[in-house]
Amino acid sequence: MRRWATVAAAFVSTFTVFGVAYSFGAFFDSMADEFGTGRGLTALMFSVTTALYFGGGVVSGRFADRYGPRPVMVVGTVSLGLGLLATSAVGSIWLGYITYGLGVGTAVACGYVPMVAMVGGWFERRRTTALGIAVAGIGAGTLVCAPLAAHLIEAHGWRRAYVIFAIGGVASMALATLGVRRAPSRGAGGRVDLRAVARQRPFVVLYLGSLALSLALFVPFVFIKSYATERGVEAGRAALLVGLIGASSIIGRLGLGALGARLGAIRLLQGSFVTMAGSYLIWMASDGRYGLLVLYTVVMGIGYGGFIALSPAVVAELFGTDGMATILGATYTAAGIGGLVGPPTAGAIIDRWGFGIGIGFALVMTLVAAVTLLALPRGR
């Protein structure tokens, strides 16, 4: 029973931190209008946050391996509340890079990598299923928080919406902390030679594939609402598209997570990369038609959900569970780099040449990622 309590805690944690982070698209237009910034500069706020929470995963993971996940979760809870409250009062987008980037970025780094590594350490036979449930919180959080943010912004403005998110986020993270339990060690007591692991071919292939994918992965979270509204879609329905990515990603997280135990996590991760590449073809062909945009978000969300659910299982399969938080955090620095570079690059491309070329950029990156991951070995 204790190990399933850790799954519930991880679900609540990922629901909260990613629900807040991935609702940024709902705030995008309001903040860009108030601060007078273009798509590239406004998207950089999200990108700084992404880089910090994925790049910070190697730090939070190492601390969790050494001291346990609960102290790290406390740091994340405080950071989330202070970061959102400070962001609600900023007078410029540049200050928002610091308050939102550091606050939310640190919260996600503390509330994600240590928690999924904790779950992975508690399970062996049903690991992919347990991890799928744990990270399904990301999809559920995106589904709930993005439309909720749009409603709060319309009713109260974006600043007060962040205050409400701060209060709710702290309460939710505090609840998750109650279920945190350090996983039993099965080897070196959580210590791992990260430099030795990073020189291994499987790590290099996984890292490069994740980097290429992450250059495209966060583009729809930032731009799909803006794309849809420019083509006449009502703002509420446009914001719902981000929520649909989260909703369909739950299918990927739970369904592919469960299948991973039968078909192998590595093979399914490769399939998830191919699925995401195919989704961008649908976006390119949509021409703003809402039905095709919904189809894009569903296909993309399933592939994205598989990527998130299966990556920890692949790390455990390739490198074992001892020191898993450290290794997982190191692999996620690739997503940090991709998240930092991808959305601003796409935003600059869209500002200069339009959405068609920007979506094409994302398509090419996902194709490169899918081809790269084919070189991943089948196991240890």
Sketch out the chain's domains with CATH numbers. 2-182+190-373 (1.20.1250.20)
- The pLDDT, as a whole number, for residue 367 is 97
How far is the C-alpha of 369 from the C-alpha of 47, rounded, in Å? 19
Lookup: tokens for 153: 């912004």
Give the model confidence (pLDDT) of 125-154 as tens digits: 777 788 888 888 887 887 888 889 988 998
DSSP assigned state of 256: I
Q: Given a cut of 90, is residue 175 above it in pLDDT?
A: yes
* Owner of token pair 């021409």: 287
Highest-confidence segment of 50-59, 181-190, 193-202: 193-202
CA dihedral 320, 323, 326, 329 (to 10 degrees): 40
pLDDT-derived band at 261 (thresholds 50, 70, 90) equals low
Q: Any idea which of 103-112, 210-219, 237-246 has the lowest mean pLDDT?
A: 237-246
How far is the C-alpha of 345 from the C-alpha of 219, rounded, in Å? 9
Lookup: tokens for 98: 């610091």
- The pLDDT, as a whole number, for residue 260 is 65
pLDDT-derived band at 207 (thresholds 50, 70, 90) equals very high
More confident residue, 286 or 41: 286
- The pLDDT, as a whole number, for residue 81 is 95
How far is the C-alpha of 327 from the C-alpha of 217, rounded, in Å? 21
3-state secondary structure 178-213: CCCCCCCCCCCCCCCCHHHHHCCHHHHHHHHHHHHH
b or e along 15-37 (b: 16 or more beta carbons within 10 Å of the residue's beta carbon)? bbbbbbbbbbbbbbbbbbeebeb
Give the model confidence (pLDDT) of 42-75 as tens digits: 777 777 887 888 888 888 988 888 888 999 999 9
Q: Given a cut of 90, is residue 262 above it in pLDDT?
A: no
Q: Given a cut of 70, is residue 330 above it in pLDDT?
A: yes
Q: Given a cut of 80, is residue 220 above it in pLDDT?
A: yes
Mean pLDDT of the chain: 87
DSSP assigned state of 375: T
Q: Given a cut of 90, is residue 240 above it in pLDDT?
A: no
Confirm whether pTM is higher than 0.85: no
Percent of the chain with pLDDT over 90: 41
How far is the C-alpha of 79 from the C-alpha of 286, rounded, in Å? 39
Q: Of 226, 228, 248, 356, give the one whose Cα is nearest residue 306.
A: 248
pLDDT-derived band at 323 (thresholds 50, 70, 90) equals confident
CA dihedral 279, 242, 311, 17 (to 10 degrees): 170
pLDDT-derived band at 263 (thresholds 50, 70, 90) equals confident
Q: Of 12, 13, 27, 4, give the one whose Cα is nearest residue 64.
A: 13
Q: Given a cut of 60, is residue 300 above it in pLDDT?
A: yes
- The pLDDT, as a whole number, for residue 353 is 94
State the angle between helix axes of 235-251 and 290-319 in degrees (0 to 180), rounded to the nearest 10. Answer: 30
- The pLDDT, as a whole number, for residue 258 is 66
When pLDDT is averaged across residues 78-84 and rounded to a whole number, the result is 95
How far is the C-alpha of 290 from the C-alpha of 99, rounded, in Å? 35
Is the distance from CB of 213 to CB of 273 less than 8 angstroms? yes
b or e along 49-70 (b: 16 or more beta carbons within 10 Å of the residue's beta carbon)? bbbbbbbbbbbbbbbbbeebbb
Q: Tell me the C-alpha to C-alpha distance, in Å, between residue 277 and each of 160, 281, 319.
A: 37, 7, 27
Q: Any idea which of 23-37, 282-296, 360-374 has the lowest mean pLDDT?
A: 23-37
pLDDT-derived band at 305 (thresholds 50, 70, 90) equals confident
More confident residue, 344 or 367: 367
pLDDT-derived band at 368 (thresholds 50, 70, 90) equals very high
Q: Any idea which of 71-80, 127-136, 172-181, 349-358 has the lowest mean pLDDT?
A: 127-136
More confident residue, 220 or 54: 220
Q: Of 97, 131, 126, 129, give the one whose Cα is nearest residue 113.
A: 131
Q: Given a cut of 90, is residue 299 above it in pLDDT?
A: yes
More confident residue, 261 or 355: 355
Q: What are phi and psi of 126, to 5 degrees?
A: -115, 35
